[in-house]
């Protein structure tokens, strides 16, 4: 990498002259500016990012901590973050907490040494179950802003971007009820995290309002999802609707239906939190609750960057943005 020093030497001018010329300072003469720029182009000069960061005390880098990169929703959010960040000249350093509190703490600690200007994160499962939030508060008090998305800690004062989980399942359930379904089951692999609980409540409310009996199937970590859903079909032959809290369960419910001579959507309707690409995995295609993951990522990035730009430490008005879900009907509902 060429440095200002080398350019200066070759041009027989001072380092600051070169620096100013490249930054189009009015202080420098037309002639000199041209000469400097030409040489810089020739050598493909690029200002050293690290030196700039040190000087300006900001890295133009965002630390992103996500619990699970294999989760389609989360990686889509990451995509949105990356895109929006790039648009504003920011890079992202990605850490994966793997749902572990310790790893989350470590990542936060590790990057809070000048590596990043702020964080965007979704909370690890373990962090939620242990209800630990001190590491977030510490980071913020060190002057590093945090934006939380999806799985957030309400007791931490920071910007947040969330989904209307409760309303989403409430509406989806109501929709199935409007199809005259009476025996709707709620399937969830994520009943241990906040988001999953909200989704379950939305379902419950819709069912209770209509005087229908609720039925929740919880699938745990080690469980065989297909087996559990198979047993569900066996036991509840009257089942005529499924609302799935995660992306796989809905797909499997559809594909399993035929084993029990049930036609989708004639005999049973299925809707689930999922993405377009995964909804394709079932025949017929799954009707989905879209979460607009990319948009969530973009919003989170915007919130953080806005805060980073408004140097005024004063404004403590933290905002919580709600990105509304959309029910996209395919062939698995009437």
Partner DNA sequence: CTGAAAGCGCTAACAG
Partner DNA sequence: CTGTTAGCGCTTTCAG
Minimum CB distance to DNA smaller for 3 or for 226: 3
Helix (H) or strand (E) holding 304: helix 293-309
227 lies in the site for a copy of itself, by CB under 8 A:
no
| Of 8 and 108, CB closest to DNA | 8
Should residue 221 be labelled a site residue for DNA when binding is judged by CB under 7 A? no
CA distance 242 to 236: 12
Within 220-275, residue ranges assigned H as helices are 225-235, 247-257
- Quote the least distance from Cβ 288 to a copy of itself, whole Å: 14
- If one counts every other C-beta atom within 10 angstroms of the C-beta of residue 168, the result is 25
In this chain, which of 41, 46, 221, 266 binds a copy of itself, going by CB under 8 A?
Answer: 46
Handedness of CA 128, 134, 139, 145 (dihedral sign): positive
Distance CA 263, CA 97 (A): 41
Of a copy of itself, DNA, none, which one sits near residue 31, judging by CB under 5 to 8 A according to partner kind?
DNA
308 binds DNA (CB under 7 A): no
Subset of 8-27 contacting DNA (CB under 7 A):
12-17, 19-20, 22-23, 27
Q: Are strands 146-149 and 216-218 parallel, antiparallel or unpaired?
A: unpaired
List Cα–Cα distances, 105 to 98, 109, 209, 264, in angstroms. Answer: 12, 6, 42, 45
Contact residues toward a copy of itself (CB under 8 A) are: 1, 46-51, 53-54, 59, 61, 69-70, 72, 75-76, 78-79, 82-83, 86, 91-96, 109-115, 142-143, 225-226, 248, 251-252, 255-256, 258-259, 277-278, 280-283, 285
Contact residues toward DNA (CB under 7 A) are: 1, 3-5, 12-17, 19-20, 22-23, 27-32, 45, 47-48, 51-52, 54-57
């Amino acid at each position: 990498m060429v440095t200002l020093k080398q350019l200066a030497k070759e041009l027989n001018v001072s380092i600051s002259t070169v620096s100013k010329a490249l930054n189009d300072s009015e202080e420098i003469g037309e002639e000199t500016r041209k000469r400097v720029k030409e040489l810089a182009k020739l050598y493909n000069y690029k200002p050293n990012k690290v030196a700039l960061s040190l000087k300006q005390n900001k890295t133009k880098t965002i630390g992103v901590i996500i619990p699970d990169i294999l989760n389609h929703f989360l990686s889509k959010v990451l995509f949105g973050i990356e895109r929006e960040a790039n648009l504003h000249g920011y890079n992202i350093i990605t850490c994966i907490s793997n749902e572990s509190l310790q790893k989350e703490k470590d990542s936060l600690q590790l990057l809070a040494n000048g590596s990043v200007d702020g964080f965007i994160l979704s909370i690890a499962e373990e962090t939620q179950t242990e209800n630990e939030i001190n590491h977030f508060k510490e980071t913020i008090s060190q002057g590093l802003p945090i934006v939380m998305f999806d799985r957030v800690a309400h007791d931490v004062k920071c910007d947040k971007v969330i989904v209307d989980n409760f309303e989403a399942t409430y509406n989806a359930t109501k929709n199935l009820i409007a199809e005259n379904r009476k025996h709707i089951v709620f399937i969830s692999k994520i009943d241990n995290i906040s988001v999953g609980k909200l989704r379950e409540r939305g379902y419950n409310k819709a069912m209770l309002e209509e005087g229908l009996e609720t039925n929740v199937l919880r699938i745990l970590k080690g469980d065989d999802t297909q087996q559990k859903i198979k047993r569900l079909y066996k036991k509840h032959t009257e089942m005529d609707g499924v609302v799935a809290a995660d992306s796989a369960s809905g797909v499997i419910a559809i594909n399993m239906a035929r084993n029990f001579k049930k036609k989708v959507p004639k005999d049973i309707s299925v809707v689930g939190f999922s993405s377009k690409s995964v909804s394709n995995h079932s025949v017929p295609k799954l009707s989905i609750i879209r979460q607009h993951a990319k948009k969530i990522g973009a919003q989170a990035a915007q919130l953080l960057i806005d805060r980073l730009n408004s140097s005024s430490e004063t404004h403590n008005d933290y905002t919580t943005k709600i990105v509304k879900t959309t029910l996209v009907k395919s062939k698995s509902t009437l």
